[in-house]
Amino acid sequence: MLTGKNILLGISGGIAAYKTPQLVRLLKKSGADVQVLATESAVRFVSELSLSTVSGRPVLTDIFSADGNGHDNARTMHITLGEWADALVIAPATANTLAKLAAGMCDDMLSLCFLTLRPGKPVLVAPAMDGHMYDSPSVQRNLAMLKAQGCRMMEPESGSLASGQCGLGRMPEPETIFEALTEMLASPEASALCGKTVIVTAGPTREKIDDVRFLSNYSSGKMGFAIAAEAARRGATVRLVTGPVSLPTPPGVERLDVESAVEMLDAAQPFFDACDLFIGAAAVADYRPETPAEGKIKKNDAEMEIRLVRNPDILATFATGRKPGQLAVGFALETAGGLDYARKKLVDKQLDLVAFNIYDGRTTGFEVDTNALTLLARDGNVTELPLLSKEEAAGKLLDAIEPLLRR
């Protein structure tokens, strides 16, 4: 199943490390070449000799360790490995290693290769630690950051822990990790997005009132960033045109930062011709102040008026001017009114698909991590998705777009 695949297996220092030779065996048996990257703590839990014997390669731990493997010399081996690998699996991932990866620190071969891995290559992480540690805000923050970067997180399993307690925190069994990796490696080849060029707009826009004030909305950009990350993971070339948000750029994605709707159109338009798919996930302000004031407007009267003018519609500009074969997908966020508004948007803006979501401000809408989408296709097909994480919702949206790209 994994014939010809090169897998980096990162092992950090938790008791579950003793199970990793079994994971190496499964990977090798299915035809993969495996390079183990173990932290110094990991090799206190599992012997280097076992790992090098089952993998057929020396275990790499220290950045400066000599290379007996004929890869390259030790100084550049991390770069060679980043190119060589088709995937990186980190199992078990301890709290310490998660923190290092989230912060971009790189003081051992595992954390270093995490940075040199080529954009878009799958990273599968199996955290394992005591349940209280797993639930701590710091670990949860690091997990969320890595997830936002496109890493696939496996849920730890429940059972008896090394502490003698029972609870969440066990590393999934090697067979489960192996299956998750096989699935991840299978999807990019099957994806219709592989080799396609995609533009995603995300986040809010800011429309200047004067030099210190603006009109905007609460969009966090999370949905658009999740779509961009997933499209890149499936092998697309992705340009993400985003309003001001505080999210890390997903791996392998080209990011263009803008402020206003006019800037968003100006940044995206040069790429319209060459793109196969445009996904408008940005919450673009429909209006902007007609003439932003220079400096700071002083308060004078009890009331003031700001004259607003319509902004260009970026999605509609793309959709109405596109060439045959190019796809246009939009979002419709409604507080009420249901599917009919979304359907009208599909027709008015000449879209192929609209992702409709009701804003409830708690589980769906801006700044939250979940979303419940209903997908309306031009052919009348309606797919109602359950409440999902924005990453999962992005996956389902792209699953629905892929058959349209194949036509």
User: Looking at the annotation, which residues are catalytic?
Assistant: 217
CB of 229 to ligand CTP, least distance (A): 18
- At a CB cut-off of 8 Å and minimum separation 6, what does 292 contact? 208, 209, 210, 211
Residue 120 to residue 199: CA distance in whole angstroms: 16
Beta carbons within 10 angstroms of residue 100's beta carbon: 20
Nearer to ligand CTP, 133 or 339 (CB): 339
Find the helix or strand (DSSP H, E) in which 98 lies: helix 95-103
The token pair at 184 is 């991840």
Percent composition of the chain: helix, strand, coil (DSSP 3-state, to 5): 35, 25, 40
Nearer to ligand CTP, 117 or 354 (CB): 354
CB of 124 to ligand CTP, least distance (A): 31
Residue 66 to residue 71: CA distance in whole angstroms: 11
Beta carbons within 10 angstroms of residue 323's beta carbon: 7
HSE at residue 18, side-chain half, CA atoms within 13 A, is 4
Beta carbons within 10 angstroms of residue 217's beta carbon: 14
Beta carbons within 10 angstroms of residue 313's beta carbon: 18
Nearer to ligand CTP, 63 or 316 (CB): 316
The token pair at 138 is 């710091």
Residue 94 to residue 38: CA distance in whole angstroms: 12
CB of 205 to ligand CTP, least distance (A): 8
Residue 285 to residue 260: CA distance in whole angstroms: 8
Nearer to ligand CTP, 87 or 264 (CB): 264
Interface residues with ligand CTP (CB under 6 A) are 201, 261, 280-282, 284, 286, 311, 313-315, 330-333, 345
Residue 316 to residue 256: CA distance in whole angstroms: 20
CB of 106 to ligand CTP, least distance (A): 37
Nearer to ligand CTP, 16 or 283 (CB): 283
Nearer to ligand CTP, 109 or 268 (CB): 268
Nearer to ligand CTP, 12 or 311 (CB): 311
CB of 282 to ligand CTP, least distance (A): 4
* CA-based nearest residue to 92, from 110, 79, 78: 110
Question: What is the end-to-end Cα distance of the chain in Å, rounded?
Answer: 29
CB of 274 to ligand CTP, least distance (A): 19
Beta carbons within 10 angstroms of residue 316's beta carbon: 17
CB of 342 to ligand CTP, least distance (A): 9
Bond from prior residue into 92 cis (ω within 30 degrees of 0): yes
- At a CB cut-off of 8 Å and minimum separation 6, what does 310 contact? 286, 287
- 199 neighbors 239 (Cβ within 8 angstroms): yes
